[in-house]
Amino acid sequence: MANVIKTINENTTFAAYFQYMRLHRNLVFATIDSLHLIFNQNKKADKVLKQTLKRDKRWGSRDRSFIAETTYDIVRWKRLYAEIAEVKEPFDRSNLFRIFVVWATLRGIKLPDWPQFEGTPTRKIKGRFDELSKIRRVRESIPDWLDELGKEALGKRWELELKALNQLADVILRVNTLKTSVKDVQDALASENIETETIKGYPTALKLVERANVFTTKAFKDGWFEVQDASSQKVTQLLSPEPGMRIVDACAGAGGKSLHIATLMENKGQVIALDIYDNKLQELKRRARRNGIHNIETRLIESSKTIKKLLNKADKVLIDAPCTGLGVLKRNPDTKWKLKPDFVDEIVQTQKELLDSYSRMVKPGGELVYATCSILPAENEQQIKDFLTRDSGKEFTLLEEEIVSPHKSGFDGFYMALLKRND
């Protein structure tokens, strides 16, 4: 029990503080409201919290952190807490309070004398925790089907990855070298009492020593850095952009990697950012302005014509493919509850189609990087192996591939492959 309790406590910023804290009704109720939207209405956790935290302007940083961290923590450990509380979905409000009681009891938090907390069975909660922690799928809080899939795909490695993916994600920054240096960002953040440290092997990355809201800092507003996990930064490093190239980011989204590519190109050349969602491309434009980047051109994929216009014209193409997201569960813990078994097969088929279509934009002699934030071989090394046997992939040679394991790296789980199109 002690080791599992330690794992759970390490996931919460205020683990030590919790033991002495006094629960405030409006913060607890805001947490319960957020959980209702996430669990019962299938809303995305990050979007729910973004709205919840706007509810009361009087809330300070610690109040907001309590709501966010507690909500994410309960989402992360939903199965374990629900089974201890002996409640099943859909959770009514009293069920959600029972789950909250489990969360609080396991952290030694004294519960106030509220009607919602009447008859809290503290000893029973700890006893059920001991009992249920012997079952991996409950202890690591994962759906049965996903546990079976992971075990079949990864063998003994699955348990190690599960444990790593239940840790709280570090906040990693990527310094915008078009505007500043790593040292200057460290100094600027230190002046606002935010301590950072460099990461070996990641030349422009900084890790926050303690979690903090970096988006309110002057350095962020001035475009000196972006928040981007180290594994994500490694994808662009593998692509090796150079000034003057024409590079296509084929699944750009809101453009974290597009911005990194443009930065490494020193604003020289052309980055063509493609996506099927216009709102994401609009967000990329906004971020590019803040970063002082002007060599990104966004193009909405409205039909196959968008791709045909770029056939054989790109020096390099990045396919940051849509995936199950199993490599970033520490960052998006609600993903494991929203995933369905059929989606895995569907996304593998989508990845196959994107590889066949988007690889044609690489000109002869050019390079392609395929990446996912998944740890499943079917989406990763097997996907590339199959691609190389199809007509669309026979012109390509695999130069390098890398599997970034969450339990080994401490960062997000990623796969990336570098391929070269034959002259």
Do 222 and 236 lie in one domain? The reply is no
Where residue 184 sits, what CATH number does that domain have?
3.30.70.1170
* Last-in-domain residue among 161, 192, 227: 227
**DSSP states of 124-168 as a string?**
HHHHHHHHHTTSHHHHTT--HHHHHHHHHHHTTHHHHHHHHHTSP
Q: Do 136 and 200 fall into the same domain? A: no
Residues 25, 75 within the same domain:
yes
Structure tokens, 102? 């489990």
The whole-number pLDDT of residue 332 equals: 97
* Predicted confidence (pLDDT) per residue in 279-313, tens digit: 999 999 999 999 999 999 999 999 999 999 999 99
Residue 267 backbone phi and psi in degrees, to 5: 70, 15
Q: Which of 94, 90, 31 is nearest to 59 (CA)?
A: 31
Between helix 381-389 and helix 341-358 the angle, nearest 10°, is 50
> Same structural domain for residues 249 and 323?
yes
Are 244 and 215 found together in one domain? no
Identify whether residues 367 and 236 lie together within a single domain: yes
Please check whether residues 205 and 238 belong to one and the same domain: no
Q: Between helices 78-85 and 122-132, what is the axis angle to 10°?
A: 130
Q: Is residue 149 part of a domain?
A: no
Residue 205: strand pairing partners:
174
Report the pLDDT value the prediction gives residue 8, as an integer from 0 to 100. 53
Same domain, 221 and 238: no
Contacts of 160 (CB under 8 A, 6+ apart): 405, 407
pLDDT digits (tens, 9 = 90+) for 328-366: 999 999 999 999 999 999 999 999 999 999 999 999 999
Burial class (CB in 10 A: 0-12, 13-18, 19+), 163: middle
Write out the two tokens for 252. 């750009």
Contact 64/53 with Cβ under 8 angstroms?
yes
| Residues 137, 209 within the same domain | no
299-336 as b/e: b if 16+ CB within 10 A? bebeeeeebeebeeebbbbbbbbbbbbbbbbbbbbbbb
Across the 423 residues of the chain, what is the mean pLDDT of every consecutive 10-residue run?
49 48 93 98 97 95 95 98 96 96 95 90 92 97 98 98 97 98 98 98 97 96 98 98 98 98 98 98 98 98 97 98 98 97 97 98 98 98 98 98 98 98 94
Q: What is the pLDDT of residue 119?
A: 80
Domain boundary among 141, 162, 193: 141
Identify whether residues 269 and 361 lie together within a single domain: yes
CA distances from 60 to 56, 66, 212 (A): 9, 10, 13
**DSSP tag of 379:** G
Kindly state the helix (H) or strand (E) to which residue 389 belongs, with its residue range. helix 381-389
| Inside any domain, residue 155 | no
Could you list the residue range(s) of the whole structural domain that residue 202 is in?
172-227
Q: How big is the CA angle at 287 (ends 322 and 239), to the nearest 5 degrees?
A: 50
Tokens 């990864």 found at:
154
Residues with a catalytic annotation lie at 373
Give the per-residue pLDDT at 15. Answer: 47
Do 315 and 196 lie in a common domain? no
pLDDT of residue 120: 79
Round to whole Å and give the CA distance between 221 and 214: 9
**Encoded tokens for 354:** 């994107």
- Structural domains of the chain, count: 3
> Residue 321 belongs to a domain with what CATH number?
3.40.50.150
Do 40 and 111 fall within a single domain?
yes
HEC readout, 105-126: HHCCCCCCCCHHHCCCCHHHHH
Residue 326 in tokens: 């199993």
